[in-house]
């Protein structure tokens, strides 16, 4: 398995796609029922394969990630050959960027010395999708990129 198995809730949400996947592998409902009853590892392999296919499609379409914690915001934009990274952090321990008050504080203190911003570009490893998956595993959330684009414009200006 290259990524991680989908959760039960994700499988429920994608049940139609899973049925199509089984059908494309010439597995009928009856075959699937028998495979589950035999519990010989084939069902696990099919669940893993389907999960990897879903993850690969999601990761391929992912253009932005955010990782926001109490004192830092990490923003990622994924281009063809490189990812762009923006980091915003503060050493002010009274600020929590995960709250509305924390974001308000950031807006009001963006150009204060207590806020640091950095940006850089990084080439992908040999596996761009694995790079994205690793960032998700480290707490990244897939977004539409509004926050990244806002800060990217500020840094360029």
User: 157: pLDDT confidence band, cut at 50, 70 and 90?
Assistant: low
For the stretch 22-50, pLDDT in tens is: 999 999 988 898 888 887 788 999 999 99
pTM of this prediction?
A: 0.87
- Token pair, residue 4, equals 């991680």
Place of tokens 């923006």: 86
For the stretch 49-86, pLDDT in tens is: 999 999 999 999 999 999 999 999 999 999 999 999 99
Query: Which long-range contacts link 11-15 to residues 24+ away (Cβ below 8 Å)?
Result: 11/47, 14/54
Asked whether 87 and 74 are in contact (CB, 8 A), the reply is yes
- The full set of domain ranges for the chain reads 8-61, 64-156
Using CA atoms, how far apart are residues 151 and 86, in angstroms rounded to an integer? Answer: 8
Is pLDDT of 98 > 90? yes
């Amino acid at each position: 398995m290259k990524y991680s198995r989908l959760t039960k809730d994700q499988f429920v949400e994608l049940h139609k796609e899973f049925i199509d996947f089984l059908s494309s592998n010439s597995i009928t409902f009856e075959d699937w029922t028998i495979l589950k009853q035999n519990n010989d590892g084939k069902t696990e392999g099919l669940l893993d394969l389907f999960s990897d296919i879903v993850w690969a499609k999601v990761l391929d379409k992912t253009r932005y990630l955010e990782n926001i914690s109490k004192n830092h915001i990490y923003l990622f934009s994924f281009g063809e050959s490189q990812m762009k990274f923006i980091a915003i952090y503060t050493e002010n321990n009274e600020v929590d960027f995960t709250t509305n008050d924390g974001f308000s504080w950031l807006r009001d203190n963006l150009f204060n010395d207590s806020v640091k911003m950095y940006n850089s570009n990084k080439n992908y490893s040999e596996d761009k999708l694995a790079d994205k998956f690793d960032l998700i595993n480290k707490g990244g959330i897939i977004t539409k990129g509004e926050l990244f684009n806002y800060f990217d414009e500020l840094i360029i200006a």
